[in-house]
Amino acid sequence: MAEKNTCKLCGQKPAIFSSRLGYCASCIRSRFDQVWPEIEAYHFESRKVFGLPLKPPRDPEGKVCALCFHACRIPEGGYGYCGARRVSGGKLVGGNPAGAGVSYYYDPLPTNCVADWFCPGGTGRGYPKYARVDGPERGYVNLAVFYQACNFNCLFCQNWTFKRQTFSGDRMSAADLAQAAHARTACICYFGGDPTPQLPHALATSRLALARAEKAGRRLRICWETNGAMQEAWLKPLAASCLENGGIIKFDLKTFSEEMHLALCGVSNSQTLKNFAALAARFGERPEVPLLTASTLMVPGYVDLEEIHGLARFIASLNPDIPYSLLAFYPQFYLPDLPVTSRDFALAARKTAQEAGVKNVNIGNVHLLH
């Protein structure tokens, strides 16, 4: 039997290693077929606890969900992989304008947002067209909208407690949520979980809130924080919701290698990378405020410099001016045996990203670094 801190396959003792996951980064990338069955079983374990489907349903008679890349075929009475979409009476329900599993709070600006180091709310960038003041929008708030479902299964999820509300949480209509954007609301940011499984609800909320703000003569930005794995047809309305108002689309690029992404997140990253490239092609449409940004959580031992280099090279190949945030990790959920990201690694990761060609690299969650 392998020692606790030893990779089960190669027998090595990496400096940083999760005995819960059982395998080192090198074996995950190079010998994936051998490690996947056991890692997949760990993902299944993490989903059974919350009653979530273990895999995207593929019922030949099921209704097809057209929101994300899973394209679940959901049987009558069943749920999609995300847990938000279900079939009742032969119809897909959940995440529509009539109701979604969602909560919200008011976050005073400037805030700890992935984009606060360059966005209008944190800096006044784009004033007066996109920002209310020439500088940080102190005295205003961000309406932070948290969608309680996700189409990924990240073992390191920093907000995993939402899974407790995926089935049992309160439902709110888009009309009611839009009313929450009051006179001091400068921006709305959809995150989670992930907004993708409930995109129709979020887009409807945006339309209603923007119409109310326009009628009152107020500026209102729409922002998105997402894993980016929606079906490609949704990219156009996503961009349209924020392009004219100074909002930003924030993609969480978790890893570069598909093998590592499967190991950590349970699903492929192919759609995320494809969608990011498609939106990057529109980056120049609004030069005052970047339309698109990327972030990566630096999961010790797994989202290593090899992953950071691959992602940064990918971003730079699309447009080196796309802002990139490297976020410090805190041990959570099914990877509790990993340490907090070290300051030395964060600095090395930033240097790696810059050397790969990304011009604007920021380190976020610096309060966590040790």
CATH number at residue 209: 3.20.20.70
SS3 assignment, position 294: strand
- Specify the amino acid at residue 15: A
Cα–Cα–Cα angle for 187, 114, 50, rounded to 5 degrees: 95
Rg (CA), the chain: 20
Domain count, the chain: 1
For residue 212, is it within any domain?
Answer: yes
Please tell me the distance from the alpha carbon of residue 17 to that of residue 289, in angstroms, as a whole number.
39
Q: List per-residue pLDDT tens for the chain, 370 residues long.
A: 346 789 999 999 999 999 999 999 999 999 999 999 999 999 999 999 999 999 999 999 999 999 999 999 999 999 999 999 999 999 999 999 999 999 999 999 999 899 999 999 999 999 999 999 999 999 999 999 999 999 999 999 999 999 998 887 668 999 999 999 999 999 999 999 999 999 999 999 999 999 999 999 999 999 999 999 999 999 999 999 999 999 999 999 999 999 999 999 999 999 999 999 999 999 999 999 999 999 999 999 999 999 999 999 999 999 999 999 999 999 999 999 999 999 999 999 999 999 999 999 999 999 888 8
The b-or-e profile of 325-355 (16+ CB within 10 A means b, else e) is bbbbbeebbbbeebeebbeebbeebbebbbe
For residue 352, is it within any domain?
Answer: yes
For residue 60, is it within any domain?
Answer: no
For residue 19, is it within any domain?
Answer: no
Query: Measured on CA atoms in the order 293, 261, 42, 170, is the torsion positive or negative?
Result: positive
Q: Which residues pair with 104 in a beta bridge?
A: 145
Position 1 scores a pLDDT of 38
Query: How many CA atoms does the CB half-sphere of 198 hold within 13 Å?
Result: 34
| 8 Å CB contact between 166 and 49 | no
Position 4 scores a pLDDT of 76
Range of 186's domain? 100-368
Cα–Cα–Cα angle for 46, 234, 268, rounded to 5 degrees: 35
For residue 273, is it within any domain?
Answer: yes
Please tell me the distance from the alpha carbon of residue 202 to that of residue 345, in angstroms, as a whole number.
36
Position 170 scores a pLDDT of 67
For residue 24, is it within any domain?
Answer: no
For residue 46, is it within any domain?
Answer: no
